[in-house]
Chain A
Amino acid sequence: MGLTVLEERFGLSPAGYLPCADGRPTYEVGVDQLHDVLAFLHDEHEPPFEQVSNITATDEIDISETEPEREVLRKNAKKRFRLVYHLRNLHEVEHRVVRLVTWLADGEIAPSATDLWRGTNWMEREVYDMFGILFSGHPDLKRILMPDGYEGHPLRKEFPLRGLSPDRLYRQWHLAHKDVSGDGLSHHAPATAEGEEQS
């Protein structure tokens, strides 16, 4: 079962880290190969995979064992993050969705797919926002769901459920960021709780 063409052409092997409960072909791709595989499925594969359903990641750190100076991964995990792509084929084919998995260490940079599908722009921004994974070649990689200037990446396992500073408002993060970026707003609206009440 699977897309044998990927095995023949790129030497990929089906991913075995997690049992696959939905029967979708799942392949493990090295980060240096990732863009080539995506481009192949988009441009050359017949029929082409015309859409990306989603791009997301999982954090495979073992939070119960990890200490500040020592990062422990879960059993069998190769690196800290699994970057997961679901590509969708809109034609009548056997496998309408293929799943690609790339292992990334903390700080490792993935290639952007925005040159192949414009719609991956926000998906990659979301992965960056939530996990801190960087994408090279992305036109405008900035936060999307959390406010500009937010500290931390919420879906990392060590991030607390209530947030790092739960009493701080969206506006305060946002204005603190504007203070740094220097567009002239900060001296009118200081990013403090007092400033909120005055205005």
Chain B
Amino acid sequence: MSETVTTHQKTITIGEQGVSPLRRELLGNNARIEELNLELGNELHEDLMTLNMGPQHPATHGVLRVVLTMDGEVILDAEPVVGYLHRGKEKMAEHLTYFQYIPHTDRLDYLAPQINNVAYCLTVEKLCGFEVPPRAAAIRLILMEMMRIMSHLIYVGTTALDIGAATIFFHSFREREDLYDLVDKITGQRMNNAYIRIGGVGNDIDADTLAGIRKFVDAFPERVDEYERLLTNNRIWWNRNRDVGILSREDALSLNVTGPVLRGSGVEHDLRRAEPYSGYENYDFEVPVGTTGDCFDRYLVRLEEMRQSTRILSQALDKLPAGEVYAEDRRFVLPPKEKVFSSMEELIYQFKVVTEMAVPRGEVYHAVEAAKGELGFYLVGDNGPLAHRLHIRSPSFINIQAIPLLAPGGFISDLVAIIGSLDFVMGECDR
């Protein structure tokens, strides 16, 4: 429960309970206000105000809280507060077997769950020292690119909605729905699919679904052009994004941001190029980069990435290899279900893998280019079925750190555009 106060035609929500909202000393961070007043050296600024945005604010995309220090309409200081969605994923990884942990990775970036699955399974496979068959790798790649498009569609739709352009939301969610239908056909679920296994994928894609993906790939570039017509030359969209939240190249590097945020600032870095996995080195695609590093550049980068993902999908469909979708290594890989029910040996293997899978002692860091940036898993194995330590390097957690740098000097409405353009997911940030 929170209270709302209306002052000067603005509505302020105060997050704490039972506090009289009109007592100025209770409104917030007085020490910080004093400090800023001293810096400004101006008595006119003694009315600095602390404004609490979130954790239940629709424009913060989840449970991010930003504590703002305002001078009238202008933001002087912004401090993001995270942790409201912390579920102890890293601690849980030390108490679950490697297979049991796969569904937990779905709940990190829940807008692109298969990328998390693949990143985790690739890490475990690297530690165990085997690779998946080419067809499984290609199916993983197809799913990852579909997830990337889905995640960027959410970005385009919701950010435009936050800024006030509602139309594009319905267009982008229409295409997202098409993709969800395809993902449903492949994995059996719409969200939180847990379809990737250590050693392969859950089951093969049938020809019908492949034809559906082909149909989507053929139609989608035209849709992206449609988004461009709705937004890129739209004066309101332009004014709200152009030269807002400029992140310079140096700051982007120093803040360790990754993904479209880093590329929007003009750094050509993509892990699909730098450290290829799942066969990305065999595909032809461009890495788009921005020039000024403002919200508009980050928008353009994401739109172009959707086109490039379509290109990759098209090539992957053309040269999808035949063969098995599951590795044969019976030390680490669960046997296929139909074999378990018909063969005694396979049943024993299944039992042994579930109860005493001996992932070797050792350390490994593996990162993939997720929709939001570098998603890395640092895994320490311990000669047994439980990990000694699993650390998740989540791109959202790092990218949110850019808010204190980008927000000051702008208005609250600019902050909404900045938060949208950083495109983070709190499930991944808080873990």
Contact = CB atoms under 8 A, between A and B. Distances in A.
Interface of A: 18-22, 24, 26, 50-54, 56, 58-59, 84, 86, 88, 90, 96-97, 99, 117-123, 126, 130, 143-147, 154-155, 159, 161, 170, 183-185, 188-189, 199
Contact of A84 (B82, B378, B381, B431): B378
Nearest to A188: B18
18 contacts: A20-B363, A20-B364, A21-B363, A26-B363, A51-B253, A52-B256, A53-B256, A53-B365, A54-B393, A56-B391, A59-B389, A90-B274, A118-B251, A119-B255, A144-B83, A161-B92, A183-B30, A189-B16
B360 interface: yes
A56 B378 contact: yes
Nearest to B274: A96
B237 interface: no
Interface string B40-68: 00000000000000000000000000000
A178 to B, nearest CB: 9
Q: Which of A119, A120, A126, A159 has most chain B Cβ within 10 Å? A: A119
Contacts of A97: 365
B230 interface: no
Contacts of A56: 378, 389, 391, 393
Interface of B: 1, 16-19, 25-26, 30, 82-84, 86, 88, 90-92, 95, 126-127, 129, 251, 253-258, 267, 269, 274-275, 360-367, 374, 376, 378, 380-381, 388-389, 391, 393, 397-398, 400-401, 405, 430-431
B257 to A, nearest CB: 7
B83 A199 contact: no
Given A21-B126, A54-B376, 13 more contacts: A18-B362, A18-B380, A19-B363, A20-B362, A51-B256, A53-B256, A90-B274, A117-B255, A117-B256, A122-B397, A144-B82, A155-B91, A185-B16
B142 to A, nearest CB: 25
A119 B364 contact: no
Contacts of B255: 117-119
A9 to B, nearest CB: 23
Nearest to B363: A18
Contacts of A123: 398
A96 B270 CA distance: 12
Contacts of B393: 53-54, 56, 86
A90 B86 contact: no
A161 B256 contact: no
Nearest to A157: B94
Given A53-B374, A119-B401, A154-B91, A58 B269 contact: no
Contacts of B82: 144-145
Given A24-B365, A146-B83, A90 B254 contact: no
Contacts of A184: 25-26
Given A21-B126, A199-B17, A86 B90 contact: no
Contacts of B26: 184-185
A106 to B, nearest CB: 17
Nearest to A196: B17
Contacts of B19: 185, 188-189
B373 to A, nearest CB: 11
A86 B378 contact: yes
A135 B401 CA distance: 19
A78 to B, nearest CB: 15
Nearest to B129: A21
Contacts of A22: 126, 363-366
Nearest 7 A-B pairs (CB), nearest first?
A119-B256, A19-B362, A119-B255, A54-B393, A56-B391, A199-B17, A145-B83
B86 A146 contact: yes
Contacts of B397: 122, 126
B253 A50 contact: yes
Nearest to A147: B83
Nearest to B85: A145
A86 B365 contact: yes
B287 to A, nearest CB: 12
A46 B51 CA distance: 45
Contacts of A170: 84
B90 A189 contact: no
Contacts of B86: 145-146
A120 B90 contact: no
Contacts of A88: 374
Nearest to B17: A199
A170 B129 CA distance: 41
Contacts of B361: 18-19
A123 to B, nearest CB: 8
A105 B366 CA distance: 27
Given A51-B256, A185-B16, A121 B362 contact: no
Contacts of B275: 96
B90 A155 contact: yes
A161 B253 contact: no
Contact of A122 (B365, B388, B401, B431): B401
Contacts of A161: 88, 91-92, 95
